[in-house]
Each structure stands twice: as C-alpha cells, then as structure tokens.
Structure 1
Amino acid sequence: LVYTMPIFVTVISHFKLNEKINVYKMLGLFSGLIGLLFILGGGILHVDQNVILGELCVLIAALSWGIANVYSKLKFKHTDMIHMNAWQLLTGAVMLLIFSFILEPSRPIHWSNEAILSLLFNGLFSTALTFVVWFWILNQIEASKASMALMFVPVLGLLFGWLQLHEPVTFSILIGAFMICIGIFMNTYQFKKV
C-alpha cells in the first residue's frame, strides 16, 4: 500500500510542479495500481476491522511521502543533498532512539560482528547513500517519473523473496508485476505527440 505514493506524487505534481498528467501517465498509474492490487491479492477484499487502522496509516504514510517528495523538489533544488540527508537521518535516528526507549521492551543488546556490519550496511548504504541518490534523481527529472520508478520495489521484493526465501510466485503475482512494469513504461517513456 505504501507504493501508492507515485499516484499521490503525480496528482500533486500536476498542480504544484506543472507536470501535466497526460493520457499515458494516467494509463501508467492505473496499470501500476491494478498491478499492486493483483500482488496484494484477494486478501485486500477480506476487510479485517483490526487491520483497517494500520492500512489507513500506511496510506497516510504514502501521502506524506508523496508530499515530502514534491516539497523537496520545490524547496531544496539548490541545497546540498548530503547535508540535507545527514540532518534528516540524524533527526530520524534521535526520534527513533527516544521512541524505542519508551515503546520497546528493554532487552540486552548483543553486539556481534554481524550486528555491527548489518547496522553499518543498512545505515550507510541502504539508507544514507540511496537517499542522496534519490534526491539527486528527483532534482534531475519529473517527480512523477522518478516516483513511478519506485514501483519496481514491490516487483524486486517478490523476485528476491522467491530467490532467497523460496516464497511462492503465483499467477496473480506475475500479472501484477507485469502490470506494474507496463505502468512504469507508460509513465516514463517519451511518446511522440500526434
């Protein structure tokens, strides 16, 4: 559900960044959304009252992520990406640390080499470096096109889940992945005007 963010970015960018929604973008967004629904499967139709609040929070997170991307493109075009990301990550780390002391049960931490390497890899490579690259890309191309490329994340998650964790890939998932790829193509390819 969080990867509905490109839909929010495309709509907000239409009004705030003058990135007009054309027929191809609309078809691409629709195809990507249908693909996500195929991947989520029939479970999305069986509404569990206990899950609704969580799903609404995820959709609000997707909307917030979309607003943040458009805001970053508007306000931080000439800002040093490394400094901006350093402050964002530092602020987020401090807030998470505070909340972890409040909300998480206190258990002793075992600092093994694997734990330290995992923390460094996730903090420096998977988060810091990729966010610097993301904001650089966001400043280079249309926000709607950049965000639509993130629809590859669920597809790659399915692929690596299948390869590494031996998770099943159903026909519905294959259709969903195909629809997402079509959506990305429709949103990013420069079609000639007729």
Structure 2
Amino acid sequence: MTAATLDRRDAIDTAAVVIMLGLTFCWGLNGVAAKLSNAGYNPVLLTVLRSAIAAALVFGWCWWRRIPLFERDGTLWPGIAAGMLFGAEFLLIFVGLDYTTLARNTLMVNAMPFWVLLGAHFLLGERMSMRKLAGLLLAFGGVALVFSDKLSLPGPDAIWGDLMSLAAGICWAATTLVIKGTRLVRASAEKLLMYQLAVSAIVILPLLPFAGPMLRDVTVLPTAALLFQAIFVVAFTYVVWFWLMRRYPASGLTSFTFLTPAFAVLMGGILLGEPLSIRIFLALGLIGVGLVLVNRPARSRA
C-alpha cells in the first residue's frame, strides 16, 4: 500500500469542509480583486500579467517538487487549445468588468457547469439525466433573471459586460471539454495549469498594442489586487484544490463550488457598494440549486 493510497479519504471530513469554505470564499473575493485591479491596469495587460506571474510561480513549484512538465505525452496541441480558451475566458472577464457589476459578472461566468453539461451530452456522449436537465433549466432561469434585472444595472452599456461574462463562462466550459475529450485528461494537474497559464500569457500578449493605455490609476490597491490574484488565488489556492481533489471524492468537493458565486455576490455588495436587488438573489438561488442538482452523484441501485 502506497502513501498516496493511505492518504485517500472515502468521504468529506471536517478538515475538507473548512478548507473548501476557505477556498470558495477566496475565489469569491477574487472577483472583487479583479474589479479593483481594473481601476489601475488595462484589462488586456491584467490578463497577461496575472497569467505570467502565476505561471512563473507554478513553474517554480514544479521544479522544486520535481514534477515533470516537458515529457512527450501527446498533450501539446490540446494543451495549446486549452490555454487559448483560458486566455479568452479571463480577457472577457476583465473587459466585461469594465461594463457590468461583479454580481452580474459572477453569475454569468458561473453558469459554466451547464455549458459543460450540454457540450458533454452532444460532443462526448455523456447522456443527460432528467435531474441534470432540471438543474440546467433552473440555472438558465437564473441567467434570464439577471438579464431582466434593471435595478442592478450599473449603466446602459452593462449588457455588453453581461454578454462578455456569459461568453467567458462558455470559454471555461470549452476548456473543460477539451481537457475531458483529449489526452489532457491523463496529464498531471500541474501540467494542465501550466498549459493554461503560459499559453494564455503568450497568445494575449500581441493584443497589447491595440488595447489602448496600459496604465490607468495605478495605486497600491489595484497593484495589491493584481498580486492577490496571481500569487495567492492562482498559484496557491489552485494547488490546494488539486491536493484536495487527489485526497477526497471529487463529487463531494464540487458540491461546495456553488458557494463561490454566493460569496462573490455578497462581497460585491459589501466591499464595492454594488446595487443588489431581489432578482439578483433569486438568480443566485436558482443557479445554486441548479449546480447542486448537476453535481449531485446518482444513487446506486441495490
């Protein structure tokens, strides 16, 4: 019996619950950091810097832990595709936050599992159960509520930010489908993350000359927000997440992820003073219930 086998857990314990609550809170707070960093830096520059800084740190972690990254395993081209989609996702998120609120952005992006559900049904042959279909319909009802909510609109151009946020969620889902449908599914988590970070920084870099002024109101707060995202959220919490995924059942962990949009919506209202209407909370509830239905494992028959 290996050490890895001994470390495995058959169920979610108290330690995992506490860590997942901390992770989802940090991921929700990441949205606040993204909004704050937009005040000091151009969204295109932010996308490049966030990925480049995090890639350097993750590479250092892999070098220290002797995790192989460059062996030939047939993952190069799908890895490049995943990295391009990852870059497009965060570029859309950062640009979208220039137009819409964090709450609306978060709810749109976190519709991702339902795009994965649709894509897996039609592209990967993973049949959709009635329970998952019900979750999908609830989630789309939540998205429709966000679009119909006028009280939380920050301005007349918010629709463009909402659409970019929705497209970011689709890119996130497409990244997941590329991973699930190619040899990337057998790659290490660290290699997957490096593909996404390194490629996204490289492919977004040529857009910088066309993005307008690179610097806005550069102060300590936007800079700290950028470093929080790159160093803590991406380079640290993602590694913790991968550790949890190896140690605990994946189905139990993913059920916690619906807390991320909940924390982000609340933090947007508390820390950024964004308007939160009853429709936003109803949308959050619909999307949250939908996520639970989609992530809930099917019961085995005796």
TM-score, normalization by structure 1? 0.70
Q: Aligned residue for 1:176?
A: 283
1:164–1:35 CA distance, 2 compared to 1 (3 A): same
CA contact (8 A) 1:14 1:20 kept: yes
How far off its partner does 1:180 sit?
1.6
Identify unmatched segments of 5+ residues in structure 2. 1-107, 151-156
Q: Aligned residue for 1:157?
A: 264
Tell me how large the CA RMSD over aligned residues is: 4.0
CA contact (8 A) 1:149 1:184 kept: no
How far off its partner does 1:92 sit?
1.7
The CA deviation string for residues 112-165 of structure 1, in whole angstroms up to 9 with x for no partner, is 6x665443322133234455547x95xx758xx95x976554433211112222
DSSP 3-state at the match of 2:185: coil
TM-score, normalization by structure 2? 0.48
Cα distance in 1 between the residues matched to 2:180 and 2:116: 11
State the percentage of identical aligned residues: 22
Select the residue among 125, 141, 148 that pairs with 1:34.
141
The CA deviation string for residues 90-122 of structure 1, in whole angstroms up to 9 with x for no partner, is 22223333322332225599686x665443322
Q: Aligned residue for 2:85?
A: none
1:20–1:130 CA distance, 2 compared to 1 (3 A): farther
Q: Aligned residue for 1:46?
A: none
How many aligned residue pairs are there? 187
Q: Aligned residue for 1:85?
A: 193
Q: Aligned residue for 2:177?
A: 70
Matches within 5 A, 1:94-113: 94-105=202-213
The CA deviation string for residues 63-105 of structure 1, in whole angstroms up to 9 with x for no partner, is 3332221111232122122233223312222333332233222
125-134 or 175-184, which deviates more: 125-134
Cα distance in 1 between the residues matched to 2:218 and 2:163: 35
How far off its partner does 1:168 sit?
3.4
Select the residue among 215, 221, 226 that pairs with 1:119.
226
156-165 or 115-124, which deviates more: 115-124
Instruction: Identify, as 1 or 2, the structure richer in helix.
Output: 1
Identify unmatched segments of 5+ residues in structure 1. 44-49
Cα distance in 1 between the residues matched to 2:129 and 2:250: 16
Cα distance in 2 between the residues matched to 1:192 and 1:17: 22
Q: Aligned residue for 1:19?
A: 126
Higher relative contact order (CA 8 A, sep 6+): 1
